[in-house]
Amino acid sequence: MPSSLRVVINTRDQLGETPLWCPRTQMIWWLDIERPRLQSFDERSGRHEVHRFASSFAGSLALHRAGGFVVGLDNSLQRFDPATSRLAPIVDVEPADAGTRLNDGRCDHRGRLWIGTMDAAIEKPLGSFYRVDPSGVVHRLFGDIIVTNSITTSPDDRTLYMSDTRRFKIWAFDLDPDDGVLSNRRVFADYSQDKGRPDGACVDSDGCLWNAVFAGGRVIRYTPAGKVDRVIELPVTNPTCVCFGGADLGTLYITTATKMIAPEVLANEPLAGALLAIEAGARGLREPMFG
């Protein structure tokens, strides 16, 4: 275990995901998808708050420019105000009976949300990839996805990254920042040989991509050219997503999961499901907001 790795809080999440540093609250926020709940932790006071939802899944999280969050509940995007616990509908991305659910998503610097769906049973390519404009208009870009993940954009919004976890690849696209059109899809990172599962990702101020490898027990930093630059080995099997936070955006937060770990293995992983952090020697970017 890296000497600078620390446990922020051990909530033993079933499927911890989508950590976001909120500059308004100066706190880290994240989801436990299948319970489903939104959590926050204030490292200054040690206060941990939990907001529960009456849905099957809370699959995606983004900051809303007007305050609060955009939460993907099942196949619906909703604005959530943690101060009042009120939800307000934004848009239904897919029908409730599609057999899918919203998964990973991230905003670009123009306030658009890039988000995908996945087969709720994690078996068939039922998912699609979408761009949701600040007006709430939904654009379906392509389908044939089992599990959408690794969504993030380069610092200049000219490259978009996404993966299909069950196809073991991260792709890069050219992104026109003005009209939101994607082109030139190519393989950025290929996990096919070792069957590593690319999960949540973020980009730092140097344009390098950090990716959590589910079932791989590590976080990998890639240069913009797709070269492995750094590997952080973790004491958990299932890291799920990463983000930069803290006052100087120099802390890498890592969500983890207890899901899909055999009981005999889980018994020896006391930090599975914990929120971890490491001073990564890099700086992140201010998290873009929807709207």
**Strand extents, DSSP E, 108-260:** 113-119, 127-132, 138-145, 148-153, 159-164, 169-175, 182-190, 197-203, 209-214, 218-222, 228-233, 239-245, 251-256
Name which of 53, 106, 91, 96 is nearest 74 in CA terms. 96
Do the strands 289-290 and 58-64 form a parallel or antiparallel pair, or are they unpaired?
parallel
What is the separation of C-alpha 204 from the centre of its chain, rounded to a whole number of angstroms?
14
Point out which residues pair with 106 in neighbouring strands: 114
What DSSP assignment string belongs to 42-98?
ETTTTEEEEEE-SSS-EEEEEEETTSSEEEEETTEEEEEETTTTEEEEEEESS-TTS
| CA distance linking residue 223 with residue 208, whole number of Å | 5
Contact in structure between 271 and 1 (CB atoms under 8 Å): no
Give the residue numbers marked as catalytic: 199
| CA distance linking residue 168 with residue 107, whole number of Å | 23
Q: Using CA atoms in the order 163, 28, 221, 288, what is the torsion angle rounded to 10 degrees?
A: 60
| CA distance linking residue 169 with residue 175, whole number of Å | 19
| CA distance linking residue 56 with residue 22, whole number of Å | 25
Name which of 57, 6, 47 is nearest 27 in CA terms. 47
